[in-house]
Amino acid sequence: MKGKKLKIWTEKDYLDWVKQETPLKEKYFAMYSTVWDAVVTNPNLMTIPFDDHMVHRGDGVFDNSLVVNGKVYLLDEHLDRIIRSATAIGIKIPLSKQEMKDIILETIAITGKRDCMARFWISRGTGGFSVYPDESPKGHFYLIITSSPNYPARYYEEGLSVVTSPFPLRQPFTPQVKSCNYLANAMMEFFAHNVGADTAIAIDSEGYLTEGSNKNVAIVTRDGIFKYPRLEKVLHGTMLKRAIYFANLLKGEGILKDVISTDIPISEAYNSAEMMFFSTTLIVAPIVKYDGITIGDGKPGEIYKRLREMFKKDMTENSEVLTPVDYD
């Protein structure tokens, strides 16, 4: 072949490359895969087979759990959700819930990290490059332990500016599937950043709020009602569920008038006293501007501040939702 320039690596060439230092080791600490049934700690070895349908078709599901001071927050809830997601689309789950839980805890322990993020996936599996699920005899479980998310302090102290996304987010039959196909989510962020906003919110075909690209949304009305979109339309966010629980406690204290799941028109969001996002990585953050309209007084509100304190306490002191990691 004339003009051939591509290198053909030997196994030694590849292994020499693997041994090279990489800055990725500062944020990717360990990976487990059912392909090997082992853990690797060199980021250069953290790979997924290219013929896994999750890679070339987005045919897989995922979830994340925060590790705070050596304890995993809401681990059972996240595992239950990924199992529901995989089951809903017919993926043959390769491990039991307890096996996945044990692998996650042991892999965290291997890293020695007490504050980090456990990110895990269940894929359709390997077997070819078609779209047909039957090509994969069983799914695969992948886990990577990474550094904790690090959002700008202004998100929490000053609040976010968001816009309405022109891209529909979820198909009607998949709102409860935390799918790896995040093209619409990525386009939401692409649009938001191009117009100078921090992020975006999607609306449904009737013009009601649904959710952010990877965040649930809620509002507090001027008469003190905590409202969030109907759950059949959005992903059942673990942090939103926790926020609903906290909001009901605030209702019991007389701080909130009510807690309601309902359709939320954009106009009602514009006129709300507070808006906020909830997600595993962001936890809770206030929205102070929506489509250029100031929300409330344009500053993080009192309900947001109370919820943030409740989350902080929950994530560090509540043994009912914290799973300890055995580092010994």
- CATH number for 230: 3.20.10.10
Q: Which of 108, 129, 146 is the last residue of a domain?
A: 146
Mean pLDDT calculated for residue range 249-255? 98
Q: What is the pLDDT of residue 15?
A: 96
Q: What is the pLDDT of residue 172?
A: 60
DSSP string, 139-200: -EEEEEEEPPP---HHHHHT-EEEEE-SS----TT-TT--BS--HHHHHHHHHHHHTT-SEE
Q: In terms of DSSP bridges, do strands 199-203 and 160-164 run parallel, antiparallel, or are they unpaired? A: parallel
Q: What is the pLDDT of residue 168?
A: 78
Model confidence at 1: pLDDT above 70: no
Tokens of 194: 């191009």
Model confidence at 170: pLDDT above 70: no
Tens of pLDDT, residue by residue over 188-232, are: 999 999 999 999 999 998 999 999 999 999 999 999 999 999 988
Does residue 323 lie within any of the structural domains? no
71, 113, 178, 227: which one is catalytic? Answer: 178
Does residue 166 lie within any of the structural domains? yes
Residue 170: which domain range? Answer: 153-316
Q: Are both 232 and 264 inside the same structural domain?
A: yes
**Nearest one of 223, 245, 247, 218 to 234, comparing CA atoms:** 218
Q: In terms of DSSP bridges, do strands 293-294 and 274-279 run parallel, antiparallel, or are they unpaired? A: unpaired
Model confidence at 185: pLDDT above 80: yes
Model confidence at 173: pLDDT above 80: no
Q: How much of the chain, in percent, has pLDDT values that exceed 70? A: 98
Q: Are both 180 and 310 inside the same structural domain?
A: yes
Q: What is the pLDDT of residue 4?
A: 79
Q: What CA–CA distance (Å, rounded) separates 8 from 154?
A: 49
Chain mean pLDDT for the chain: 95
Q: What CA–CA distance (Å, rounded) separates 84 from 64?
A: 14
Q: In the annotation, is 178 catalytic?
A: yes
Tens of pLDDT, residue by residue over 19-55, are: 999 999 999 999 999 999 999 999 999 999 999 999 9
Surface-to-core class of residue 274, CB atoms within 10 Å of its CB (0-12 exposed, 13-18 middle, 19+ buried)? buried
The least confident of 85-89, 113-117, 166-170, 206-210 is 166-170
**Nearest one of 188, 229, 236 to 209, comparing CA atoms:** 229
Q: Which of 112, 146, 180 is the last residue of a domain?
A: 146
Q: What CA–CA distance (Å, rounded) separates 81 from 236?
A: 8
Does residue 49 lie within any of the structural domains? yes
Mean pLDDT calculated for residue range 299-317? 98
The number of folded domains in the chain is: 2
Q: What is the pLDDT of residue 250?
A: 98
Residue with tokens 């990525």: 186
Q: What is the pLDDT of residue 175?
A: 67
3-state secondary structure of 288: strand
Q: Are both 310 and 172 inside the same structural domain?
A: yes
Q: How much of the chain, in percent, has pLDDT values that exceed 90? A: 92
Q: Which of 98, 128, 146 is the last residue of a domain?
A: 146
